[in-house]
């Protein structure tokens, strides 16, 4: 799943591509993706009608991000909330689509998880939502269909759902401080990596950046959060900020299959110290890096450097 740096770069790419364009038509091929965000979702005829009838004629005014979510702000206060989850993808083509036949696409930009078929044909069997715009077409493709694209007729309706109610602070917020982090961790008995990935203390950190931040801070990922000393909390805070800022700057990690809107890969993977390197030598002490499982996620750390 893409983490904050990858989603932030995708947001920037979408902002450059679609903001200012009017939506001419919306096609929904998989209604369940616009009907809810839970693990078990069912198609809603009401939501499908709203999605296809109320979004056309509106204009994309902004693309924002909260944690790993994309927030598309439309004219007249309407909002679209999207989460790519494991295998979602946005693809934009500058030329008008052929609505009846799939076609080979030459002039396109794609962001999210690459889908091989999308490199040759758009729309294709993985295309579930289509936004026909003034100058081109925006497609939402998803092979595993874990993602969601939800419509809200007003900012008030969006806020009433309190979608981000349990979320913690953004790592770049001014109020995300050492003092805040220390206070948030003081009562957490769970493993520190579990807390970091839980999104309730700080958002946008997943498997990659949790491993990298904890390595830089010299903290074992299976330590309980409450056990961290004041110095360790400060070191962790500093590591989170440095690593997340650098990852955003270079376009994210793009390990596995994630891509930016223009299909380029992020460069932060070149700077990984431990993620995906089980059995390799620690860059500090040269002892083999160890692999354990935390919350069903592969976790890499140095048993000598991290205490």
The highest-confidence range among 39-53, 84-98, 252-266, by mean pLDDT, is: 39-53
Q: Is residue 166 part of a domain?
A: no
Residues 191 and 280 in one domain: yes
Residues 9 and 151 in one domain: yes
Per-position DSSP letters for 35-83, written without gaps between them: S--SSS----HHHHHHHHHHSTT-BEEEEEEETTEEEEEEGGG-EEEEE
Residues 252 and 285 in one domain: yes
Mean pLDDT of 273-288: 95
Beta bridge partners of 132: 25, 137
Render pLDDT for 100-159 as a digit per residue (tens, 0 to 9): 444 444 456 666 777 888 878 889 999 999 999 999 999 999 999 999 999 999 999 999
Beta bridge partners of 62: 73
CB-CB contact of 117 with 104 (8 Å): no
Residues 149 and 25 in one domain: yes
CATH of the domain at 238: 1.10.8.50
Distance CA 269, CA 96 (A): 36
Residues 117 and 73 in one domain: yes
Beta bridge partners of 22: 59
Determine the structural domain holding residue 55 and report its residue range.
4-157
Residues 67 and 199 in one domain: no
Q: Is residue 256 part of a domain?
A: yes
Positions annotated as catalytic residues are: 2-3, 68, 297
Residues 117 and 15 in one domain: yes
Render pLDDT for 167-219 as a digit per residue (tens, 0 to 9): 999 999 999 999 999 999 999 999 999 999 999 999 999 898 999 999 999 99
> Is the pLDDT assigned to residue 88 strictly greater than 50?
yes
Residues 62 and 125 in one domain: yes
Render pLDDT for 38-55 as a digit per residue (tens, 0 to 9): 889 999 999 999 999 999
CATH of the domain at 10: 3.20.190.10
Residues 90 and 182 in one domain: no
């Amino acid at each position: 799943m893409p983490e904050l740096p990858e989603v932030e770069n995708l947001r920037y790419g979408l902002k450059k591509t679609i903001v200012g364009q009017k939506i001419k038509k919306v096609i929904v091929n998989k209604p369940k993706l616009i009907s809810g965000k839970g693990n078990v979702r069912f198609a809603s005829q009401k939501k499908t009608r709203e999605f296809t009838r109320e979004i056309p004629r509106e204009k994309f005014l902004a693309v924002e991000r909260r944690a790993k979510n994309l927030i598309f702000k439309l004219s007249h206060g309407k909002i679209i909330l999207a989460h790519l989850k494991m295998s979602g993808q946005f693809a934009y083509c500058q030329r008008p689509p052929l609505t009846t036949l799939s076609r080979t696409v030459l002039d396109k930009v794609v962001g999210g998880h690459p889908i091989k078929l999308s490199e040759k044909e758009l729309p294709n069997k993985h295309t579930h939502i289509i936004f026909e715009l003034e100058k081109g077409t925006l497609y939402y493709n998803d092979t595993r269909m874990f993602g969601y694209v939800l419509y809200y007729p007003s900012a008030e309706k969006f806020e009433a759902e309190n979608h981000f109610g349990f979320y913690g602070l953004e790592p770049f917020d001014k109020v995300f401080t050492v003092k805040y982090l220390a206070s948030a961790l003081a009562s957490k008995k769970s493993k520190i990596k579990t807390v970091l990935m839980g999104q309730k203390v700080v958002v946008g950190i997943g498997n990659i950046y949790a491993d990298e931040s904890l390595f830089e801070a010299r903290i074992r990922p299976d330590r309980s959060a409450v056990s961290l000393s004041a110095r360790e909390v400060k070191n962790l805070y500093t590591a989170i900020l440095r690593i997340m800022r650098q990852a955003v700057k270079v376009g994210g990690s793009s390990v596995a299959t994630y891509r930016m809107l223009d299909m380029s890969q992020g460069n932060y993977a070149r700077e990984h110290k431990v993620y995906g390197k089980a059995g390799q030598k620690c860059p500090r002490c040269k002892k083999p890096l160890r692999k354990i499982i935390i919350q069903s996620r592969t976790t890499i750390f140095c048993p000598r450097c991290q205490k």
